[in-house]
Amino acid sequence: MPSPAKITIVDVARAAGVAVGTVSRVFNNAADVNAAIRLRVLEKARELNYTRLRQRRARAAASDNGVTLPPGAAIGAVFFGMEDTLVQLPVVSAGLQGIESTLSAHGRSLMIANIPVGDRVPPFLRDGSVAGVLLKGPNQGLLPSPSENDLVRAILAVPHVWLMGRPANATGDHCNFDTSTAGRLAVEHLHAKGHRRVAFFNPKPGQIQFERVKASFIANASRLDMTWSLLEAEPAPTLAWPLPAITNQDKVDSLVDRWAATPRASRPTAFFVPSDRTAVQLYSSLAHRGLTVGKDVSMVSCNNERSLLSNLHPGLTSIDIHADFIGRRAVDQLLWRIAHPMEPNTVQLLAEPTLVERASVATL
C-alpha cells in the first residue's frame, strides 16, 4: 500500500468501488450523493489515512511560514447573505464574545469576514490559513449550490459549524438554542398568568428560527387548550442576498392594526414575539396608539438582548437563548470536527433556553 502522503483520490475511489467524480462530490459535500455511498467513501478514506491534496498543500505552505496546521491555525468566522447590521445585533455580538473568549483560551486567533451578497471568497479561505470556519448565514431561503457559488463551495470544503441557524439544504454541524423549549416556556408562562387567547406575532414569515419556535408555540398552546392565532405578514415573493436583518416598521404596524380590529371578546390578550428586535418595534407601535404593554396586551419575546431591552417600560419578559454559551460550544464542536475530519455523522448541539420574567405579562 502507498504511504499516506502518496494516497490519492484514485486510491480512495478504487477502495470504495466508485468513480473518482463520486469521491470528489463526497469530499465537497454535494447533496446528490447517496448516503450509503457517502459513508463508504469516508470510511475508506479514513482507513487509507487519506489527506486531501489541498489540505496537504495548505499545511505545507503554513509550515514554511513557521505555522503548523491545523493545531495552531486561526479559525474563521464568515457572516454572509445578510445586511451589515446583522453583526451589530446584540445576540450575534454575544455569540462572537463566546467564540473569541474560547478561542483565546485555546491559543487561537479569529479571522472575520462579512460578505453581505455572498459574492466573494475571503482571503483566509482562499489561501488555506484557517483550520475551519464558523458560519452565520441568512435564516431564510436555501443555500446556493456549491457549483454556482464560489463562497459556498469554499466554506463547505473545510471543517465548519453553523451558528444559530442552518439553511434547510446545508450540511455540517450546528450549534443553536432549543426552539422547542423556547416555545414551550413562553406558552406555559402565559398560561400560568391566566392568558387563554394568545397570538404568535411574526412580521418575518419563513425565517427558519421563527418557524420552529412557532411550531412549538402552536403545539403547546393546543396542549393547554388555549385559543391561539397567528399575526403574520405576507411572505416575501422573492429572496435575494443581502436579506435585511431588521424588519420594516410598517409590517409591525399593519399586524398591530389587524389585532386592534379584532373584536375585544376574541382578541388575543398576549403576544409571543420571536425576537427582541421585533418586540422593541412592537412596543413603539403600541405606544403610538396609546396602548401599554402589560396593561392593554401582554408580551413575551425571545433572545433576552439586554442592551435592546434596557429602556423598555415595563420590562420585557424574554427567553434567554444564552448566545454566549452557543458561541463557546460552537468553537468546541469545530475543534472536534477539525480533529475528526472523516467522521461522516453531523452533530446538532442545542442550548437549553430559560425564561427571564419581567413586567410585560399581566396576571388575568
Collapsing DSSP to helix, strand or coil, 236 comes out as coil
Same domain, 162 and 276: no
- Specify the residue for cell string 419575546: 301
pLDDT (tens digit per residue) in 176-212 = 999 999 999 999 999 999 999 999 999 989 899 999 9
- CATH number for the domain that contains residue 39: 1.10.260.40
Tell me which residue range forms the domain holding 81: 68-177+325-351
Same domain, 286 and 189: yes
Q: Is residue 196 part of a domain?
A: yes
Same domain, 151 and 230: no
Instruction: State the angle between helix axes of 35-47 and 9-16 in degrees (0 to 180), rounded to the nearest 10.
Output: 120
Q: Is residue 14 part of a domain?
A: yes
- Comparing 166-170, 272-276, 338-342, the range with the smallest average pLDDT is 338-342
Q: Is residue 356 part of a domain?
A: no
Which of 309, 307, 259, 250 has the alpha carbon at shortest distance from 279? 309
Average pLDDT rounded to a whole number, residues 338-357 = 92
Same domain, 189 and 300: yes
Same domain, 151 and 185: no
Q: What grid cell was written down for 207?
A: 425565517
Average pLDDT rounded to a whole number, residues 117-133 = 91
Question: For residue 215, what pLDDT is reported?
Answer: 97
- CATH number for the domain that contains residue 340: 3.40.50.2300
Q: What does each C-alpha distance from 212 to 84, 206, 215, 307, 308 come to in angstroms?
A: 25, 10, 5, 25, 23
pLDDT at 36 over 90: no
Same domain, 196 and 303: yes
Mean of pLDDT over the chain: 88
Q: Which residue type occupies 71?
A: P
Q: Is residue 209 part of a domain?
A: yes
How far from chain centre, in Å, is Cα 229? 26
Q: Is residue 226 part of a domain?
A: yes
Question: For residue 325, what pLDDT is reported?
Answer: 97
Same domain, 192 and 315: yes
Question: For residue 340, what pLDDT is reported?
Answer: 87
Q: Beta-carbon neighbour count of residue 364 at 10 Å?
A: 12
Same domain, 305 and 186: yes
Same domain, 81 and 124: yes
Same domain, 183 and 317: yes
pLDDT at 319 over 80: yes
Same domain, 293 and 330: no
How far from chain centre, in Å, is Cα 315? 27
Q: Is residue 363 part of a domain?
A: no
pLDDT at 282 over 90: yes
Share of the chain above pLDDT 70, in %: 90
Tell me the pLDDT band of 71, cut-offs 50, 70 and 90.
low
Q: Is residue 58 part of a domain?
A: no
Domain count, the chain: 3
- Specify the residue for cell string 483560551: 105
Q: Is residue 54 part of a domain?
A: no
- Comparing 78-92, 160-174, 276-290, the range with the smallest average pLDDT is 78-92
Same domain, 207 and 151: no
